[in-house]
Amino acid sequence: MNFLVTGGAGFIGSAVVRYLINHTDSRVAVVDKLTYAGNLNSLRSVCSDPRYAFHCLDICDRESLTKVFETFEPDVVMHLAAESHVDRSIDGPAAFIETNIIGTYTLLEVSRNWWSTLSPERKTAFRFHHISTDEVYGDLDKPGDLFREDTAYAPSSPYSASKASSDHLVRAWMRTYGLPAIVTNCSNNYGPYHFPEKLIPLTIINALAGKPLPVYGSGNQIRDWLFVEDHAKALYLAATQGVVGETWNIGGHNERRNIDVVRTICALLNELAPGKPAGIERYEDLITFVADRPGHDLRYAIDASKIEHELGWKPQETFESGIRKTVEWYLVNREWWESILDGSYSGERLGLGKQA
């Protein structure tokens, strides 16, 4: 099968590409604009494989996208390209509207036009897989509540509103034009190759440098943490075995308060990186509570029973096993994140100080 993966140089996208190359016989074409979060170093382990190809382009560029479709002839489009950082969406929402809404519209139209040219057999087999977030649902009020596939949308930030819009576009193209599409909504991902402005890698990297570990408000915000490699496996199953028109929520069954996540990382670093920066007795001493972000959702949690029952997927990593693997990866792969800090990678130079 031919998989076209948009945003394939990003965090989740690169995990999907590595999975496809390492665990299937599929050909993979990556489409990525290489904005600040796109990093070709995340694809270094697979870039020499003859089944892999890379195209640096904006998904809003209809002409260039069309050429890729015509030359690569995809069987599956996995759409992961998105602006995804809530803080950035608050500071500058325009890029989120452009990429997440206009970009998704453009990709849908190019996909629809390509799909319409296929033979009946290939037309039936084609899939447009839209990868989205649990943040489209807003937050949960009661401790026992969970996001389900039929939970009403109530986005809180420009980011989540733009992703909700893109979800609606995909379903409209399926209903109006018959485009064979599926949608997945995931909880917070973590793991190797995570961009350093997000909470978990930011905490690891700042701690190693003896810098403050910023925690919003009281740190009582709760997230359901999903190891990115578990997510990649779920996405492949959904794309290849999922029924057209269905939605699956993908979660890690790992609810944790942000403050507890940070403290867990500090405890692991005390064990795995005992040579602390000068003047630091415990990494936990670096925790610094900062003003909360506007409209900050308090709790996300996913009911992932549908994908388990229908597709046989469930996460392999517990939070304890996954976070240990993550901390160990950042300790061993300093070159990857140091190239981001000094601006020598494929994205822009920036000062890091915000969290997921």
* 66: Cα separation from own chain's centroid: 25
Q: Which residue has the tokens 């990429």?
A: 99
Amino acid at 183: V
Residue among 36, 105, 137, 159 flagged as catalytic: 159
Q: Which residue has the tokens 């709760």?
A: 222
Residue among 58, 75, 134, 224 flagged as catalytic: 134
Q: Nearest 5°: CA angle at 267, between 262 and 269? A: 95
Residue among 32, 58, 75, 135 flagged as catalytic: 135
Is 87 known to be catalytic?
no
User: Rounded to whole angstroms, how far apart are CA atoms 185 and 178?
Assistant: 21
Q: Nearest 5°: CA angle at 341, between 335 and 346? A: 80
Bridge partners, 299 (sequence order): 222
User: Rounded to whole angstroms, how far apart are CA atoms 72 and 30?
Assistant: 11
How far CA 348 is from CA of 1, 24, 136, 199, 344, in Å, comes to 34, 33, 28, 19, 8
Is 19 known to be catalytic?
no
Cα within 13 Å of Cα(116), Cβ side:
10
Is 135 known to be catalytic?
yes
Beta strands in the chain (DSSP E): 2-6, 27-32, 52-56, 76-79, 127-133, 181-186, 188-190, 213-216, 222-227, 247-250, 255-257, 287-290
Q: Which residues are tagged catalytic?
A: 134-135, 159
